[in-house]
Structure 1
Amino acid sequence: MQNISTTESTPSTTAVALITGGARRIGAEIIRQLHQQGYRVLIHYRHSRDEAQALADLLNQVRSDSAALIQADLSQDESIESLATAAIAVFGRIDVLINNASSFYPTPIGHATLDQWDELMSSNAKAPFFLSQALAPELSKRTGCIINIADIHARKPLKEHTLYCMAKAANVMLTESLARELAPTVRVNSVAPGAILWPEDAAELDSEGKQSILGRIPLARTGAPENIAQAVLCLLQNDYITGQVLPVDGGRSLH
């Protein structure tokens, strides 16, 4: 299930954050900024080992024994509990869980499949729930935090992406429900990105599609992964916020 790139350590007094899908894109930027704030970081990845290893090597050059890798396929039910156990063992604690790993692609009506349902629901709702459940006792012991990476389309649907929007809507309800259930010892919040990075592979947009999106953004530009990481840090640092979904979208959700 998982590969851990470092030996187990004695428990540390330094806060530790586990970020799923942390090898690339937004996840990697969240890791870099948390590391700059003094966190030890656990970089979860599924397939992107080279990128994850390069990121860990860079961070460990800055501060030794401050970053480690964990590999797991979160679509495999048996992997989630094992991931939680292994993650705690690396540095002896987990203070922050950031559920960032996500699948995204169109599923137009008439062409959606059961496999697509399973993949989109699993990565965006099922895995975040069960990983949060598995780590809840540890996070409670640390007065920790969970931050879910949602999407503005959890509230306002995106054409031809019904399954993804449904899954992210479940992700938002996960945030709100866990915030009530895990209070007062664990805070749970969410960041909802808008147009931050253009999608890849099957979800890739042509120039017309990109211009259509930019035309609906009051700030008339895309954001950057740094904007999402800054929102995550804000929610971590303010200890009187829980159960909230923070849009980071250049004003697009105003439409």
Structure 2
Amino acid sequence: MQGKTVLVTGGAKRVGAAICRRLHAAGANVVIHYRSSAYEAFALRAELNGLRENSAFCAQADLLDPDALRAMVTEGIQFCGRLDALVNNASSFYATTLEGINAAQWNDLTGTNLKAPLLLAQAAAAELRRRHGAIVNIVDIHAERPMHGHLLYSVAKAGLTALTRGLAQELAPQVRVNAVAPGVIIWPEGEAWSDEEARRKIVAHTLLKREGEPDDIARTVQFLIADAPYITGQIIAVDGGRSINI
């Protein structure tokens, strides 16, 4: 990772911040994308630049704005003169029922989880080909086993899974494209996920009988970018075995 530059969407907090920290520790320069988490993004930038000067950069963009996405890729390339990898981590997540789905929810959930990764890959394709780079998408184990009450989110992540494999074909042989499918890593924000008994039941379905850590995802992302030269078009579940035991 030494001297390489990686753009991480949603990199300011939670799993995205763990990815930024691990790639940075491995020697990479990181472009930390954020939408509204400016405080967290700039705090992380200060932390990483304190460890290695001029090694972290913040880029604000609304994932639903195509022009902003293209501009962010350009900024990322200008930051260190290159872009070697793209990590599509940012995601909207909330419940939607079949009866209640509306156009705004469709645009948001498919826009952040599917359309934005496509447009970012499109904008970065020429540079990634030049650098023989990589794309890692963060999908979800519920892309293949839909989550009840979260119809649109599950559909959007299923689309991102298909996009991962399609981009692997389109960008071969220069660029490798893979995905990580997390299980129980960090509980979603919101009151609906605060019930301890409900959490306990979900964890009980993991074969390892415990929650994962954000760094479990970050380590897998690093592996796919830096240590997997013959892996492309694959989805790696990092879920403690939950996806085969639901």
Runs of 4+ in 1 over 4 A off after TM superposition: none
Secondary structure, counterpart of 2:210 in structure 1: coil
Q: C-alpha offsets along residues 100-129 of structure 1, whole Å, 9 cap, x if unaligned?
A: 000111102222221111100000000000
Q: Pick from 96, 105, 122: which aligns with 2:111?
A: 122
Deviation for aligned residue 1:201: 2.4
Partners in 2 of 1:173 and 1:202 — Cα distance?
A: 31
Amino acid at match of 1:102: S
Alpha carbons 2:34, 2:60 under 8 Å: kept: yes
What SS does structure 2 have at the residue aligned with 1:68? strand
Task: Report what 1:49 is aligned to.
Answer: 38
How far did 1:78 drift? 2.0
Contact 1:104 1:203 in 2 (8 A): no
> Residue 244 of structure 1 corresponds to which residue in structure 2?
234
Partner residue of 1:214? 203
2:161 counterpart residue number: 172
Quick one: distance in 2 between partners of 1:165 and 1:203? 17
Provide TM-score, normalisation by structure 2: 0.96
Please, which runs of 5 or more residues in structure 2 have no aligned partner?
none
- Structure 1 counterpart of 2:221: 232
Aligned equivalent of 1:88:
77
Q: Does residue 140 in structure 1 map to residue 140 in structure 2?
A: no
Residues 201 and 238 of structure 1: CA distance in aligned 2, closer, same or farther (over 3 Å): same
Partner of 1:99: 88
Contact 1:106 1:203 in 2 (8 A): no
Which residue identity is paired with 1:86?
A: E
* Residue 212 of structure 1, CA deviation: 2.0
Separation in 1 of the partners of 2:58 and 2:116? Answer: 18
Contact 1:97 1:147 in 2 (8 A): yes
**AA of the residue aligned to 1:103:** S
**Residue type of the alignment partner of 1:219:** L
1:193-212 alignment runs, 5 A limit: 193-201=182-190, 204-212=193-201
Q: Deviations over 1:207-232 (max 9, x none)?
A: 23212211211111110001000111
Report the residue type matching 1:53 in the other structure: F
Cα distance in 2 for partners of 1:199, 1:235 equals 25
| 1:91 Cα deviation after fit | 1.2
Q: Which amino acid aligns with 2:94?
A: Y
- 1:77 positional shift: 2.2
Q: How many residues are aligned here?
A: 243
1:158 and 2:147 matched: yes
Q: Secondary structure at the match of 1:208?
A: helix
- Relative distance call for 1:115 and 1:181 in structure 2 (3 A) is same
User: Which region of structure 1 is more displaced relative to structure 2, 233-242 or 167-176?
Assistant: 233-242
- Alignment check: 8 A CA contact 2:193 2:199 kept: no
Identity %: 49
Aligned CA-pair RMSD: 1.1
Which secondary structure state, in structure 2, belongs to the residue aligned with residue 69 of structure 1? strand
Paired AA for residue 49 in structure 1: A
For 1:88 and 1:239, the matched residues in 2 are separated by 23
Match of 2:17 in 1: 28
Which one of 171, 184, 200 corresponds to residue 182 of structure 1? 171
Q: Which secondary structure does the structure 1 equivalent of 2:122 belong to?
A: helix
After TM superposition, the score normalised by the length of structure 1 is: 0.93
Q: How far apart, in 1, do the equivalents of 2:217 and 2:156 lie?
A: 20
5+ residue gaps, structure 1: 1-12
SS across alignment from 1:73 = coil
Q: Displacement of 1:203 after TM fit?
A: 5.2
1:240 is matched by which residue type in structure 2?
Answer: Y
